[in-house]
Amino acid sequence: MADRLSLEIATPMRLVTAETADEVVIPGIEGYFGVLPGHAPFLTTLGIGRLTYRQGREERHLAVAGGFAEVRNDKVIVLADTAETPEEIDRARAERSRERAERRLAGRSQEEVDHMRCQAALARALTRIQVAERGR
Amino acid sequence: MATLRDIQRRIRSVQSTQKITRAMKLVAAAKLRRAQERIIAARPYANKMAELLGNLVSGAGEEAHPLLAQREGPRRQIVIVTADKGLAGAFNSNVIRRSLEFVRQSNATEVTLVVVGRKARDFYRRRPYTIKRDMIGFWDRLAFNHAAELADYFMSQYLGHEVDEVHLIYNEFRSVASQRPVRQQLLPIPRTDGEGAGAESVEYIYEPSGEAILGDLLPRHVRMQVYRALMESLAGEYGARMTAMEAATKNAKEMIEVLTIQYNKARQEKITKELLDIVGGAEALKQGAEA
Interface of A with B in 37-56 (CB under 8 A): 40-45
Per-residue pLDDT band for A104 (boundaries 50, 70, 90) equals confident
Tell me, yes or no, whether B25 and B160 share the same domain.
Answer: yes
- Specify whether B149 is located in the same domain as B235: yes
Candidate from B143, B144, B213 with C-beta closest to A68: B213
User: Are the C-beta atoms of residues A50 and A131 closer than 8 Å to each other?
Assistant: yes
* Average of per-residue pLDDT values in chain B: 89
Distance from CA of A27 to the nearest CA of B (A): 12
Choose the mutation target among A33, A39, A79, A84 for the interface with B, i.e. most B CBs under 10 Å.
A79
A78 lies in the same domain as A96: no
* Domain extent for A75: 5-86
Residue A72 contacts B, CB cutoff 8 Å: yes
Beta-carbon separation of A10 and B48 below 8 A: yes
Give yes or no: residues A81 and A101 share one domain.
no
Question: Helix-strand-coil percent breakdown of chain A, rounded to 5?
Answer: 30, 45, 25
Contact: A10, B206; criterion CB under 8 Å: no
**Residue A135: pLDDT band with limits 50, 70, 90:** low
Question: What's the whole-number average pLDDT of chain A?
Answer: 88
Residue B39 and residue B140 in one domain: yes
Within 8 A of B49 by CB-CB distance, chain A residues are: 79
Q: What is the CATH number of the domain that holds A103?
A: 1.20.5.440
The answer to whether B202 contacts A15, with C-beta atoms less than 8 Å apart, is: no
pTM: 0.86
**Are A53 and A64 contained in the same domain?**
yes
Does B266 lie in the same domain as B152? Answer: no
> Do B145 and B83 lie in a common domain?
yes
Q: What is the pLDDT of residues B19-38, one digit of tens each?
A: 999 999 999 999 999 999 99
The 3-state secondary structure of B168-180, one letter per residue:
EEEEEEEECCEEE
Domain that holds residue B77: 21-245
Are residues B254 and B166 located together in one domain of the fold? no
Inter-residue contact B38 to B231 (CB < 8 Å):
yes
CB of A8 within 8 Å of a chain B CB? The answer is yes
Q: Which residue of A has its CA nearest to B220?
A: A67
Mark whether B150 and B233 lie in a shared domain. Answer: yes
> Which has the higher per-residue pLDDT, B107 or A66?
A66
Please give the helix or strand (H or E) that residue A130 lies within, else none. helix A112-135
